[in-house]
Structure 1
Amino acid sequence: MTSISVGKIGSAVYPPGAVVGPRTMSEFQFVWVLRGSAQWRCHNETQELKPGQLLLVRPGMCDRWQWDRRQPTTHGYVYFDLAEPSPSATSNRWPLLRATGDDDPLPAMLRYLLRLDVTSRDDLETAAELVRFALVLFARDPRADGGLVLSATVEAVVQHVLQAWGPSGVARALSLSELSAAASVSPGHLSRVFRDQFGVGPVTAIELLRLARAATLLSQSNLSITAIARSCGFADPEHFSHRFRRAYELPPGRYRQTADAPDPSAPLAAVGLLPVATRLLP
């Protein structure tokens, strides 16, 4: 991504029912609501904003703001420019609005931005780096393709797995019938949901998560392979070795000794299971 020039940064409080605009933007603006709510309109586009969302307004947009009619609204903002000949060629691929969650670094970055003094050269440089990183996160929001936001069916499976693995700490195998019962759907429906979203069935997905836990223990602990196998729900070390080699193309012993062995998360990333892994793997 190209260099960034940051302009105004700050927060504003609007009385109930206040209106701003129409205005035509000459630069980019990130806007996020801290308290209250707002309605943003641009041409035929309307967005309802509330805390936990980030809006990116582009140069050339003619927009209008209607602030919360019932209570004062506080919002944060930062204006910036991209130092490239045709920034629209890049920005047109970015989303307009994205949600931010508890495990998202964006909220903390935005709070930090509001503490910076743009009259200070050092703070201005820091602001530019923060906005640059915020744009990367904004443009690559994993929610856009089903990332961090799990379907209700997958979420039910995740909750069951957390409960099943929690008491003993052993990442035991879970059958299709057990998982489908936990999600209150038929085994066939659950299999279709997982194959549509991850390309593998639920039992295979859970096994990949167990193997990823094992790969981390192999690279980050001195536990024996037998102990690692048992902690990841494999009673038979030979069966564990066979399944591990199929996922990582190396048997557990060689994986532990190989400096450039695949990252533990590689098989999960290949099928889009990283958002599930963040919930289930410490």
Structure 2
Amino acid sequence: MPSPALSAPQLAAECLRKKLEVSNVDRRFFSKGESTRDEIITTHRFILILEGELRYTLDGVTLRLRAGSQFLVPAWVRRVWTTPAGQGCTITWCEYDDPSEVIRSLLRRRLSPAEQKEEQSAYAKLKALFQKPRDDWHPLHLEAALKAMLTRFLQHAETSAGADQAVVAEDVHPRIKETLRWAHEHFARRDALSGLMQVADLSPNYLRTLFLESTLCTPHEYIEHLRLRHARYLLRETNWQLKRIASEVGYDDPLYFSRLYRRLWKHPPSAERGTPA
């Protein structure tokens, strides 16, 4: 069963009775050898692999997930993923907040071709709904659609061997959880670093120590990475000029932004314009 403490219906009921807030829905192709850094994620990630393969590592345990795999990665785990060197990978996913935090290990489900077609359509509809203009009904419709997808998933999901040892919510200091959430919402502010320190309300040295323990980087490095990751998204998904993108993520100097971008991603921003979406 997905949890040693709860049956599958109990786990689903506990999860779905809480308010879920969708923060992102997307579909993207990742080229061969592409990867993310080792980091703690602050939202749940509900992912479907459409083509290719991902190597997903949670707290040192690596899983090979192929097309037709649907999996749920809980918030506050340390994760890194990469695509194998020989091929790329197309995935679609949803990021959402779940205050219950009842799901604390990776859950996965292997789909038949018919099931994959059904779920792929559900993700596409969720993405289209996410992109609609916001009004008071918008988050309610998003939540209802996501919960329908999660109900189908949790009915058949299983834990992966070894993946149940991932870092869970209570292993992250409460102040760090608060500051990470704040950083994800406000990283583009020019005073993001000082704002983060005010939210943390800790001494600079102690905050730096806790940050290094939880995220393997300093607060400054974490904000910088959030900015440059969003910049990569904007470079791939928009036709905006570099100066506008730099400003959008918090940098007034596009040349300085370009130097930081090259240092992190090992290529200039202009190289992203040829990356398949």
Range class of TM-score, shorter chain: 0.3 to 0.5
TM-score (norm 1): 0.44
TM-score (norm 2): 0.45
Q: Compare relative contact order (CA 8 Å, sep 6+) and give the higher one, 1 or 2.
A: 2
Q: Based on CA coordinates, which of the two structures has the bigger radius of gyration?
A: 1
